[in-house]
Amino acid sequence: ANHKIYLHNDMESLEKILAESKKKYEGEFKLIVVDAVYSMDGDIANLPEISRLAKKYSAYLMVDEAHSIGHIGETGHGIEEYFGIKNAVDIHMGTLSKAIPSIGGYIAGNKDLITYLKHNSRAFIFSASIPQVNIAVAKASFEVIEDEPWRMTQLHQRAEQFRTGLKKMGYDIGYSNTALIPIMIGDEEKTLKLAKLINDRGLFVMPIIFPAVPKNTDRLRTHVQAGHTKKDISNALDILEESGKELGILK
């Protein structure tokens, strides 16, 4: 298969590729594959526009909801709920190892697609089944999302508190509008030093450097959880501010 990469969340770039593909590969199968929530930046794919372009150029749309299920949308149902639209996505894929604390993953689509994958996907045919205990954990986790929507409300409130606090003290969090929040540093050495200072003060953060992200976009990767209290967020912000000032990253 031929594949093209469009610029990050850039709809002009995507349409240019689709238009060129329509001319060059007329009548052939076209598939747009995109993350719902971008794992290193915390921003959300422009689903309404991507869906519009998919229909315009007769392409199928596959969305990886690894970071969106149990995270975005009023009740944690992912990107379609977030934008208030239905049936925009042809193929949903996701993991059972993030908001769902188990192992494995899933594909959701129409009956013909699932039948085809069952008989033709090497990953499905030659993989062992998920252990029953992990299936039970995953099932119970989905039930929590369904039965306890207050957790999503609390998650969104705590994430907003954290993002607002970081921006107020002078940190660059990029375009994140979710609970997955990068703290952009842009220097590998400073990122590693800052991470150590913060971890030593009792707050766990992950330094992300090249090649996991492009050069000069080094960052700390943070994620708010529904179980965090307002006090937890305040304490985290205090540690981040103190550490940032010690290294001269914050004034």
Q: What is the pLDDT along the chain (251 residues), one digit of tens a residue?
A: 889 999 999 999 999 999 999 888 888 899 999 999 999 999 999 999 999 999 999 999 999 999 999 999 999 999 999 999 999 999 999 999 999 999 999 999 999 999 999 999 988 888 888 999 999 999 999 999 999 999 999 999 999 999 999 999 999 999 999 999 999 999 999 999 999 999 999 999 999 999 999 999 999 999 999 999 999 999 999 999 999 999 999 99
- Do 69 and 118 lie in one domain? The reply is yes
Do 163 and 133 fall within a single domain? no
161 CB contacts (<8 Å, ≥6 apart)? 230, 233
Residues paired with 28 in a beta bridge: none
115: CB partners within 8 A, 6+ apart: none
83: CB partners within 8 A, 6+ apart: 47, 48
Cβ–Cβ < 8 Å for 179, 220: no
Task: For residue 202, give its domain range.
Answer: 150-247
Q: Are residues 136 and 155 in the same domain?
A: no
Cβ contacts of residue 218 below 8 Å, gap of 6+?
A: 185, 186, 187, 188, 190, 191, 207, 208, 209, 210
- Within-domain flag for 4: no
Cα–Cα distance measured from residue 65 to residue 93, given in angstroms and rounded to the nearest whole number: 6
Dig out the tokens for 93 from the structure: 């894929």
Structural domain ending residue among the three candidates 121, 147, 173:
147
Catalytic residues, by residue number, are 39, 67, 98
Q: Let me know whether 183 and 111 are in one domain.
A: no
Last residue of a domain, one of 86, 112, 147: 147
What is the per-residue pLDDT for 157?
Answer: 98
Q: Into how many domains does the chain fold?
A: 2
Domain assignment present for residue 6? The answer is no
Strand order in the sheet with 206-208: 180-184, 219-223, 206-208
Radius of gyration of the chain measured on its C-alpha atoms: 20
Q: Report the CATH number at residue 189.
A: 3.90.1150.10
Q: Against a cut of 0.85, is the pTM above it?
A: yes
